[in-house]
Structure 1
Amino acid sequence: MPSRQSAGAVAATPLIDMDAVVLDTETTGLDVRKDRIIQIGAVRLHGPDLLDDKKLDIIVNPGLPIPPSSSRIHGLTDAHVAEKPGFAAAAPVASAYIGQAVVIGHSINFDMAVFRFEAARHGIGWPQLRVLDVALLAAGLDRGLVDTSLDSLALSLGIPIEGRHTALGDALVTAGIYRALVPKLLAAGVRTLGEAELLSRRPANLIAQQEQAGWFARPDDRPDFAGAAIRSGGRRAVDSYLYRQRLGDVMQREIVSTTPDASLHDAARLMNELGIGCLFVAAGEETGIVTERDILRAVAEHGPGGPAKRVGDVMSVPVISAPSDTFLYRALGLMARRNLRYLGVAGADGQIVGLFTLRTLLRERALATMSVTDEIAAANRPRELARVQAALPGLAAGLLADGLEARAAAAVIAAESRAMTARAAEIAEAEMLAEGSGPPPADYALLVLGSGGRGESLLAPDQDNALVIATDYERDLDAETDWFARFATRVNEILDRAGIPYCKGGVMAKNRAWRKRLSEWTSEIEGWVRNPSPETLLNVDIFYDFTAAHYSRTSGARLADLLRRRAMETAADAHGLLRALGEATGGHGAPLGLFGRLKTDADGRIDLKAGGLLPITAGARVIALRHGIEALSTPRRLRETAAKAGHGQTDADILADIHGFLLSLILTQQIADIEAGISPTNRVAINSLSSQDQHHLRDALGRVELIQTMVRDLLGSG
C-alpha cells in the first residue's frame, strides 16, 4: 500500500470546507504496541456537514483470541470475527476510504498508533495523516475543562449517544461533537486546519499522557508545524508570467472594424487579407464582434446564400471585454468560462481599445493557473469562497518561488480579494432576489478600501469596504429593512464566513457610516476638510485608497468615478487636512534602538507595518493627493508625484524599494505562520531572517524617515 503524506489538506484549509473522516476503532486492549484492531468505523464530513450515505463499518479478525475483558466493553467475541478478513485485507479498504481527508477522532492518536503498529506487523505501509483530536480541541478552547471523555463531551454539547463502544457508533458521536465544536472554533478565531492543529497543542498535560502511552512512537509522528517547505523552497513554483502581465501590456492595439450592413463575404475577404479572425462592428452606442466561426456557421446553416447575409445578422453584441489592467490569468479564466477565442480590452471610459486573442502557447502556460479565478466565479456559498481564500498562501508561495517580487504577488492577492468581494455581492444580490426583495432599487458601487484598494494586500485580511449609492435614492438608509442595509450586511457576513474577517474598526458597508449616497459622501469629505480631527485622519487614510469591486450594471461604475473625482478635487486644496496628514506620518517611529539595534517584542518579532509600511504608504498618499496623482499603489504615488513636482527621483526610488522589501519580509513570514497554524500578522520573527536580511532591515528602517522629508518638500510645492 503506497505511503501518502496528506497532500489533500494544507494548513490553510478552512474548517468550513474541509474534507474529513471521523474514525474510531475497537481493539483487543489499550496497548498500542501489542493489541489488535477488531473493528473500524468511520463517517465522512465536508466542513461541518455529515455525509450520511457514506459510512464505513468493518469487523476485523485480529488473528488472536479476544480477551473477555475487552469483549465486555464492545460486545465482540471470537465467534463474531472468525469469518472476517484480517488487517492486511481491511487496511487498504480503510486507507482508500480516508483518501486525502483529515482524520478526526476522540483520542485519535491512539487509533493512528494502533494502525501504525498493525501495518508494521503485517509488512505493509500506513500513511502519515493529518489528524484532529476532539478532546484536545475542546481542552484547547476551555483551559479549565477537566473531563474530556467522549461521554462527558457529548453530554456537555447535547450530542445523543447511540451504539456506544461500537466503532461506527463512537465515530458518529465524535462527529456530532466535532460539528458542535466548529462554531465555537470559528468564534474563537480558529478558522483553518493549521490553526486547529495549533490549538490542539495547548493542552500540554493531555499530550504528555498520550506520549507516555506510546501514541507518538516516532519523532515524525507529529505534524510538522515549522513551515519548512516554505523556507526551503519546497513549494511548486507557479508560472508568474500570467500574474505579472496585464491585458494592456499584451493586447492587439490595432483593431479592424466593419459595419452591420456589410456582407459576410466582404467580412471574410477582409479577414483573409489581413490574416485576422474577427472584426469589430459599430452597432449604435455599443460595439459588436463577428468572427470566422460566425461566418462558417452562417454558411453551414444557409448554404450558398450564407456569404450574402449581413454582418449584423450574425454578430454578437456587446463585445465581451475586460479592463486593460486585468491580469492575464484572470482574463484567461474569463475566456475559458465563456468559451471565447477573442476578448475585447476596455479603456478607462469603457470603450474598446484593443483585442486579446488566445494563443496556443499562452493557453498551455495558463492551464495550471486558472483554478483560483475559476473557483471564485463558480462559488455559490461562503465555504466555496473560503476554499479560494485558503489557496492564496500556496499561490503566493509559488509566485515567490518563481521569482516574482512580493509587491507583484501582493497585487495578485489584492485582485483575488476584490474578486471575492465582487462574488460575495453577486451571491447576496441573488439571495435577495430569490427571497422576493427584488433587484437593487438604485445604482450603487461596492468599494474596497485600504491595502486592497491600493493593490498591496497580504495574507492577514480583514474587511475594509464601503457602499456609494445614487443620490436620488430616497428611501431610509438607516432602516434595518432597507435593501442596501440588508445587502451590505449579507455581503459582510459572506466574506467573514469565507475567511475575510470583519474589520475590527468597523470599516464595513453594513455600518451606516460606510454606506452613503454620493451626495452624503461628498458632504462627508467636505466635513473632513473642515475638521481634520484624529478620527478624520483615520477615515481619510483608508477611504482615499478605494477602488470599485462591484457595481450595478447601469451607472454603478460612473458613481465610483464621480466619487473619485470629487474626492480628489476636494483634497487637492485642503491645506489644513493635508498638513495634518503629513504631520501624522512622523508619528510612526522606526523600531530601532541604540546603535541601530532592531527592537523586538517579547516574542522576538517586529511589527513592520507599524514601523515601516505605514509611514511610507501614508506619506505617499498625502503627497499624491496634494498633486492630484490618481495612482493608488504606493510606489507609483511616490514616483509620479516626484516627477510632477520636479522633485529628485532618488528618495522616491529608495522608499519604493524599502516598501517592496518590507512587503517581502512580511509576506514570507505570513506564509510560514499559516503553515504553522499561526494566524498571520504583520509581525516578523527576526531570528528567522538571514544575517544579510537583518542588515538590510536595519538599513531600511533607518531610511524610512526619508518619507517625512518628501512630505515636507512636496506639500508646499505644486
Structure 2
Amino acid sequence: MLSQIAVFTQTVREHMDPPRVVVAATASCVEVVQCLRETQASAAIIVDAALEPVGILTEQDVTRRIAFQVGPDTPVIQVMSEPVSTVQARDFLHHAVAWMRRDGIRHLPVVDDRRVVGLLELDQVLARLSGQTVAQIDRLSHWANPKTMEEAKRNQERIAAELLADAVPAVDIQQLLSRLDHQIYHDAVDYCLGFMEREGWGSPPVAFEVLVMGSSGRGESSPWSDQDNGLILEDYPDREHYRIDSWFVAFSERLTATLNAVGFEYCHGHVMATNPLWRKTLSQWRAQVSGWIRKSEGLALRLSDILFDFACVYGEGRLSRALREHITQEAARPIFLRELFKVDEEHEVALGPFGIFLTERRHGLNHGKLNLKITGTLPLVGAARILALKHGIPKTGTLERIAALHERGALDHNQQDVLSHAYRHIVQLLLRQQLRDRKAGLTPGSYVSPQALSRREIVQLKANLKAIKEFRANLRADLTGELF
C-alpha cells in the first residue's frame, strides 16, 4: 500500500510495468492475439518504425472488433483503438491516475519523450492506494482551466488537515503543497498562453520561464500562499523591446489575475511578474542582482532576500539555472553577507534571558502569544540562507541547506540534527495552529499561545529556539567578528 504522500510525489516511471506486448502496425490480428495469450497481457501497444505508439489493442477490443468479425490475417492497424493517449514517464503518478479515472482509461502507454517504455494499468495502481488517497487524488486533480484549478487549490486545506491528523510530518505536507502549487502554476501558464493565442497576441515572442519565490520557492508552502512570482526572458535586441515587452505585460496581467482567481492572492508588496522589477531578460536579471549585491544596503538587501529562494515552475529551466549560477557566484561576498545578516537579524528569536518566551506585547487578539513564523522559523530560514550563500550552495529549501552545509563541513552532525529537528518541530506547531484557526473560523496566522502547548512541547520549543539563537550568534561572529 502506497503512503498518502508517496502517491503525490512519485512518478509514473516508478509504477509502470514493462510493456509486455509491443507490436508493429503491420502485424496481423492473429499474431497479436497469440502474443496476448502467451504473455497473459491485457493490452498490446501498437508502434511505428520509430517505436512511437500509434494505437492500442485491449482485451475488450479483441472481443468487440476481432472475434468472429475479421479474418485472422487482418492487419491490427485496422482494428486497434486510435489515436492512443500516452503519459510521460516523468509525470506525477497522481496526475495520471486522475486522468485515467476521469476519462475511463484502463491502460495507458508510457513514453519517454515519444518512445514506448512502459504501460500503466489503472486497476493495478488503484490496488496500491487506500480509498482516502483515491478521494484525495480526485479532489486535487485539475487541468488548464480556472474552475478545476480553483477547486484543487481550495481542497489543499482539507488534504493538509487529513494528512496532519494521520501523523504525516508537517514538513512533508509543506513540500507536497509546494509541488501541488507549482503544478497549478504550470497549468495556469498553459491556460494563459491559450488565452493570448485566442486574443490575437500569438505565441511568446521569446523563450521564457516563470519563477516563484519565498516559501513556495523553498518548497515550504502553506495552503494559504499568496503570489510571489516573476519572469526570466531570453535575451533579445533592444530594438525589439516594445514589441516583446508589450506581449509579456499582457501575459503577466492575465497570469496574475488567473492565479488570484484560483486562490493565490495578489502580493501586497507587488512581487509579481506585472512589476517590471520582477520581469526581465537573463542579462537584465544578472545586472540587477550584481547591482543589489554591490549596493548592499536598504531595499537592495530586502529584494535580494526575496529573490534568492526562487524556483522555476514553468519552462526549460535553462535560464533559471543560469541565474542561479550567477547568484551563487556573486553573493558570497563577505560585505554583502554581513549586511544581509543585519537585515535578517531584525527577526529576533522568541526566547529571552533565562529561557523566557518573548511573546507579543501589543494588546489585542494575539497579546501574550508567540509568533512562530517571524520569531521562530524565519530566523533559522534566513541564517541557513546566508550560510549557504557563503559556501556556494545553490539549494533553496531550509532542510536541504542544512543538510548541504553538513556535507560541506560547515555544520557538524549534532548541529545538523538539532537545527533540522528545530525546524521540523516549529513547522509542526505552526501548521497545527493554522488549521485550528481555520476550524474556528479565524484567519490562519503564525501566532501560537504557550497555553495551547503541552509541557513536553514547551520544553522542546525552548530547546529549539535556543539552538536557533546559538546558530545565529555563531553566524554573526563569523560574518562580523562580533561575539555578542
TM-score range, shorter chain: 0.7 to 0.9
CA RMSD of aligned residues (A): 4.1
**Map of 2:72 onto structure 1:** 304
Check 1:561–1:340 CA distance in 2 against 1; reply closer, same or farther (3 A cut).
farther
Question: Does 1:448 pair with 2:215?
Answer: no
Where do residues 465-476 of structure 1 align in structure 2 (5 Å cutoff)?
Answer: 465-472=229-236
Check 1:693–1:399 CA distance in 2 against 1; reply closer, same or farther (3 A cut).
same
**Map of 2:143 onto structure 1:** 377
Q: 1:329 aligns with which of 94, 102, 107?
A: 94
Mapped contact 2:232–2:279 kept (Cα < 8 A): yes
Mapped contact 2:21–2:43 kept (Cα < 8 A): no
Q: In structure 1, what residue type is equivalent to 2:458? A: Q
Mapped contact 2:332–2:389 kept (Cα < 8 A): no
Q: CA deviation at 1:525?
A: 3.0
Structure 1 residues 297-347: Cα deviation after superposition (integer angstroms, max 9, x where no partner): 685786423456599x988688422636x3x4344223334536336486x
Where do residues 368-407 of structure 1 align in structure 2 (5 Å cutoff)?
Answer: 368-374=135-141, 376-377=142-143, 379-381=145-147, 385-407=149-171
Q: CA deviation at 1:294?
A: 9.5
**Map of 1:367 onto structure 2:** 134
Mapped contact 1:294–1:315 kept (Cα < 8 A): no
Q: In structure 2, what residue type is equivalent to 1:504? A: H
Secondary structure at the residue paired with 1:542? helix
**Map of 1:57 onto structure 2:** none
Secondary structure at the residue paired with 2:201? coil
Q: In structure 1, what residue type is equivalent to 2:356? A: R
Distance 1:623 1:351 in 2: 44
Structure 1 residues 473-524: Cα deviation after superposition (integer angstroms, max 9, x where no partner): 7676678981211111122122223332211221101111111123322333
Q: In structure 1, what residue type is equivalent to 2:170? A: A
Q: In structure 2, what residue type is equivalent to 1:247? A: T
Mapped contact 2:61–2:81 kept (Cα < 8 A): no
Question: Does 1:483 pair with 2:273?
Answer: no
Structure 1 residues 336-381: Cα deviation after superposition (integer angstroms, max 9, x where no partner): 34536336486xx99998765431413563431123333x327435
Distance 1:350 1:454 in 2: 32
Q: CA deviation at 1:287?
A: 5.3
Question: Does 1:438 pair with 2:183?
Answer: no
Check 1:474–1:665 CA distance in 2 against 1; reply closer, same or farther (3 A cut).
same
Unaligned runs of 5+ in 1: 1-237, 551-555
Q: In structure 2, what residue type is equivalent to 1:564? A: R
Distance 1:511 1:368 in 2: 39
Where do residues 166-245 of structure 1 align in structure 2 (5 Å cutoff)?
Answer: 240-242=4-6, 245=9
How many residues end up aligned between the 2 structures? 462
Where do residues 1-400 of structure 1 align in structure 2 (5 Å cutoff)?
Answer: 240-242=4-6, 245-247=9-11, 250-252=14-16, 263=27, 265=31, 269=35, 272-273=38-39, 277=43, 288=53, 291-293=56-58, 296=61, 299=66, 303-306=71-74, 319-321=86-88, 323=90, 326=92, 328-337=93-102, 339=105, 341-342=107-108, 344=110, 356-358=120-122, 359=124, 360-362=126-128, 365=131, 366-374=133-141, 376-377=142-143, 379-381=145-147, 385-400=149-164
TM-score (norm 1): 0.55
Secondary structure at the residue paired with 1:377? coil
Secondary structure at the residue paired with 1:466? strand
Q: In structure 1, what residue type is equivalent to 2:209? A: A
Mapped contact 2:140–2:155 kept (Cα < 8 A): no
Mapped contact 1:410–1:457 kept (Cα < 8 A): yes
Check 1:480–1:262 CA distance in 2 against 1; reply closer, same or farther (3 A cut).
closer
Q: 1:598 aligns with which of 346, 352, 357?
A: 357
Check 1:562–1:424 CA distance in 2 against 1; reply closer, same or farther (3 A cut).
closer
Matched-pair identity in %: 27
Secondary structure at the residue paired with 2:445? coil
Q: CA deviation at 1:567?
A: 1.9
Distance 2:459 2:293 in 1: 42
Distance 2:42 2:291 in 1: 55
**Map of 1:589 onto structure 2:** 348
**Map of 1:499 onto structure 2:** 263
Unaligned runs of 5+ in 2: 480-484
**Map of 2:482 onto structure 1:** none
Check 1:458–1:572 CA distance in 2 against 1; reply closer, same or farther (3 A cut).
same
Check 1:668–1:630 CA distance in 2 against 1; reply closer, same or farther (3 A cut).
same
Secondary structure at the residue paired with 1:575? coil
TM-score (norm 2): 0.79
Q: 2:332 aligns with which of 575, 596, 608?
A: 575
Mapped contact 1:638–1:656 kept (Cα < 8 A): yes
Q: CA deviation at 1:465?
A: 0.6
Secondary structure at the residue paired with 1:467? strand
